[in-house]
């Protein structure tokens, strides 16, 4: 058999081997709930953790990468209430449309910044989104109820942030590499998000 053909066959075999190994590694990235426990796999390590609201929130964010999720939406994914009172919006339709347009523009800015690895710009834009969220929270309620509504939004932000960070800490005690990854890539605030590195994404199984 010609030497160049042997070399080509060996190269093709090596590529297939690397591809199969890569698929195996991807399959090890799991975040699956079994009743009262979560099974979490990452880079060959396994953690079995009792279910908590923080882990529920983390799973939701992992399932929706690069999406800014308001804390109230996260609370809505779990059968729990914090005595939040939504009140009636005092914003007119034009103001609502302007807020929506602004948020959509900011999300596009974040996507562009991450595409070019400009994480400083992405963080700055997310801060602007948080400021808008505060403005929206302050606009909820009628008859002098604005302050209470704003306090409820802050209460939701604080509760979600605490539970998400607690979940990350629990994971980190068993799988330190995943704990570090989540600590760096999960953003909390009025809007929460999971922002994997564009060049090192993880194919999670749920």
**Predicted confidence (pLDDT) per residue in 20-71, tens digit:** 444 444 446 899 999 889 999 999 999 999 999 999 999 999 999 988 888 8
Contacts of 75 (CB under 8 A, 6+ apart): 81, 82, 84, 156, 159, 160
User: How much is the average pLDDT of 79-87?
Assistant: 38
Whether residue 8 is predicted with pLDDT greater than 80 in this model: the reply is no
In angstroms, rounded to a whole number, what is the distance separating the alpha carbons of residues 10 and 12?
Answer: 5
**Cross-strand pairs, 37:** 34, 50
**The pLDDT of residue 5:** 53
Residue 121 near residue 136, CB atoms below 8 Å: no
57 or 6, greater pLDDT: 57
Burial string for 174-205 (b: 16+ CB within 10 Å, else e) reads: ebeebbebbeebbbbbbbbbbbbeeeeebebe
- Average pLDDT over the chain reads 76
Whether residue 161 is predicted with pLDDT greater than 90 in this model: the reply is yes
**The pLDDT of residue 29:** 87
146 or 197, greater pLDDT: 197
Q: What is the pTM of this model?
A: 0.58
In angstroms, rounded to a whole number, what is the distance separating the alpha carbons of residues 78 and 76?
Answer: 5
Output the six-digit token pair for 145.
């109820």
């Amino acid at each position: 058999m010609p030497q160049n053909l042997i070399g080509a066959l060996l190269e093709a075999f090596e590529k297939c081997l690397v591809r199969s190994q890569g698929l195996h590694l991807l399959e090890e990235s799991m975040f699956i709930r079994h009743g009262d426990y979560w099974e979490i796999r990452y880079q060959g390590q396994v953690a079995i953790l009792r279910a908590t609201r923080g882990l529920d929130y983390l799973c939701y964010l992992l399932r929706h990468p690069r999406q800014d999720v308001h804390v109230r939406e996260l609370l809505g994914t779990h059968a729990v209430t914090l005595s939040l009172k939504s009140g009636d919006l005092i914003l007119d339709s034009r103001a609502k449309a302007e807020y929506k347009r602004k948020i959509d523009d900011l999300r596009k800015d974040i996507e562009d910044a991450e595409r070019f690895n400009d994480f400083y710009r992405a963080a700055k834009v997310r801060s602007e989104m948080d400021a808008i969220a505060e403005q929206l929270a302050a606009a909820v309620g009628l008859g002098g109820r604005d302050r209470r509504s704003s306090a409820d939004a802050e209460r939701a932000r604080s509760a979600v942030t605490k539970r998400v960070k607690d979940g990350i800490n629990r994971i980190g005690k068993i799988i330190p590499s995943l704990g570090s990854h989540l600590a760096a890539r999960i953003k909390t605030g009025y809007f929460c998000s999971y922002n994997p590195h564009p060049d090192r994404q993880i194919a999670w199984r749920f």
